Amino acid sequence: MRVLGVDPGLTRCGVGVVEGSPGRALRMVGVGVVRTPAEQDVPLRLLAIEQGLEEWVAAHRPDVVAIERVFAQHNVATVMGTAQASAVAMLCATRRGIPVVLHTPSEVKAAVTGSGRADKAQVTAMVTRLLRLDAPPKPADAADALALAICHIWRGTAQDKLAAALARTAVPRRIVPKSNPRHIVPENQEYRP
């Protein structure tokens, strides 16, 4: 499986491509950062991020795009920029029919280091070790993007298999008119208003 990890941001959007599967050695395919100048208008910055991400998707042809889930911060401007960059990444992947998954920062840290409270230095050290790199990826946004890809390879595939198994055992349901207070009736039962 080839995963493009995206650590969204308006100034620095980290990107990293990792290939592998659970229980097998991981391989870094590429790592970098899409940068935009802080003084530029937001619409132009988003366009630059979109163009940069499109180049990465076209060059590396990932099976999945893993994006860091935006979480609340005290700085609203930072949250907005991160959310906007995240949306651009989702758009680039979806436009090409590539599945998009979101992982929380603590989920990524736990997958890579074993602790959801690991700091950036610990995450970078483990990414360097897991991918057998000669030097840590810089800046931290690039290391975080690789960590996202690793997280999805290790956790996402297991979650996908579990979701597929649950979907196979689920009772099909159908929506019925709102006159029914429950609105949903199993397919094998008759709807009675």
Say whether 68 is catalytic.
yes
In the set 19, 50, 107, 141, the catalytic residue is: 141
Residue 128 has pLDDT above 90, yes or no: yes
Rounded to an integer, the average pLDDT of 10-25 is 95
In CATH terms, is domain 2-186 a member of 3.30.420.10?
A: yes
140-167 pLDDT, tens digit each: 999 999 999 999 999 876 666 666 666 6
Q: How confident is the model at residue 75 (pLDDT cuts 50, 70, 90)?
A: confident
Known binder of ligand: residue 134?
Answer: no
Say whether 55 is catalytic.
no
In the set 7, 50, 107, 144, the catalytic residue is: 7
Question: What pLDDT, on a 0 to 100 scale, did the predictor assign at position 190?
Answer: 64
Say whether 141 is catalytic.
yes
CB contact at 8 A, 100 and 63:
no
In the set 50, 68, 107, 144, the catalytic residue is: 68
Task: State how far the Cα of 85 lies from the Cα of 169, in Å rounded to an integer.
Answer: 37
Please give the model's pTM, rounded to 2 decimal places.
0.82
For all residues of the chain together, what is the average pLDDT?
Answer: 89
Task: State how far the Cα of 19 lies from the Cα of 6, in Å rounded to an integer.
Answer: 15
Known binder of ligand: residue 119?
Answer: no
Task: State how far the Cα of 76 lies from the Cα of 61, in Å rounded to an integer.
Answer: 33
Task: State how far the Cα of 162 lies from the Cα of 90, in Å rounded to an integer.
Answer: 23
